[in-house]
Amino acid sequence: MARMNRRSMLGALAAAPLAGGLVARASTRDDKSRDVTRQRYFPNVELTTHEGKKVRFYDDLIKNKIVVINFMYADCEGICPTITANLVKAQKILGNRIGRDIFMYSLTLSPEKDTPAALKHYAKMHGVKPGWTFLTGKSEDIEGLRRSLGFSTGNLKLDKDKANHIGMVKYGNERREWWGMVPGKAKPTWIAESILWMDETNQKPPKG
């Protein structure tokens, strides 16, 4: 089979479902449909940022925004550092759009250990810039978000082991209900291009 380039793959996956697939992009969505999607996939639970601020997942973090979401934990010795490093590079590529019209969120898989202070240290250690927020919360709320956002696997035994957590990055335009996923170990330029695909102004992707 011939190898697909990045843009071809994105187009071929355009029919995938919101939570479990790689790309879902609807042309038009009414308010009723959007509300159904919100209730099913985006529980409005309370979380705490690495700066110690209380926020609501839907109302404060993703409503009407282009967002980037991944799950991690601070003492991970597996794929987390690599994915974080790739996202740092993607953040640099996207420049001052991060925190202005694109927002990045990393949710801990170990909320019982990863306090706001621990997440703040992790962010500083990896050179994270403003516009990227690390989040913790109640264990049951984090687990609910992980599953509703599609960061789970069909193998229940493997899914319970945090060391085997899915290494994907979710990105989307909540207002337009366009969503996709990209491997966190992909090239940072690919990650940045995938995020910009959610921009309805059709801005050209970065070179590289």
CA max distance for the chain: 50
Length of the chain: 208
Q: For 5-65, list the strands marked E by DSSP.
A: 23-25, 46-49, 54-56
- Whether 15 is covered by a domain: the verdict is yes
- 30-75 pLDDT tens trace: 677 788 888 889 999 999 999 999 999 999 999 999 999 999 999 8
| Banded pLDDT at 191 (limits 50, 70, 90) | very high
Report how many domains make up the chain. 1
Torsion sign, CA atoms 134, 54, 41, 62:
negative
Instruction: Identify the pLDDT of residue 76.
Output: 83
Domain that residue 98 falls in: 6-196
178: which residues sit within 8 A by CB, 6+ positions away?
Answer: 24, 25, 26, 172, 198
- Whether 1 is covered by a domain: the verdict is no
DSSP H or E stretch at residue 69: strand 66-72
Mean pLDDT of 86-114: 97
Q: Is the pLDDT of residue 121 over 90?
A: yes
- Whether 173 is covered by a domain: the verdict is yes
Report the range out of 19-33, 128-142, 191-205 with the highest average pLDDT: 128-142
Residue pointed to by tokens 């109640």: 138
- Whether 167 is covered by a domain: the verdict is yes
Determine the 3-state secondary structure of 179 from DSSP: strand
- Whether 43 is covered by a domain: the verdict is yes
- Whether 202 is covered by a domain: the verdict is no
Determine the 3-state secondary structure of 85 from DSSP: helix
- Whether 208 is covered by a domain: the verdict is no
- Whether 10 is covered by a domain: the verdict is yes
Provide the Cα torsion 144, 66, 94, 146; round to 10°: 10
pTM of the model: 0.82
Instruction: Identify the pLDDT of residue 31.
Output: 74
- Residue 52 maps to which CATH number? 3.40.30.10
pLDDT exceeding 70 applies to what percent of the chain?
76
Phi and psi at 168, nearest 5°, equal -110, 160
Q: CA 122 to CA 50: how far, in whole Å?
A: 9
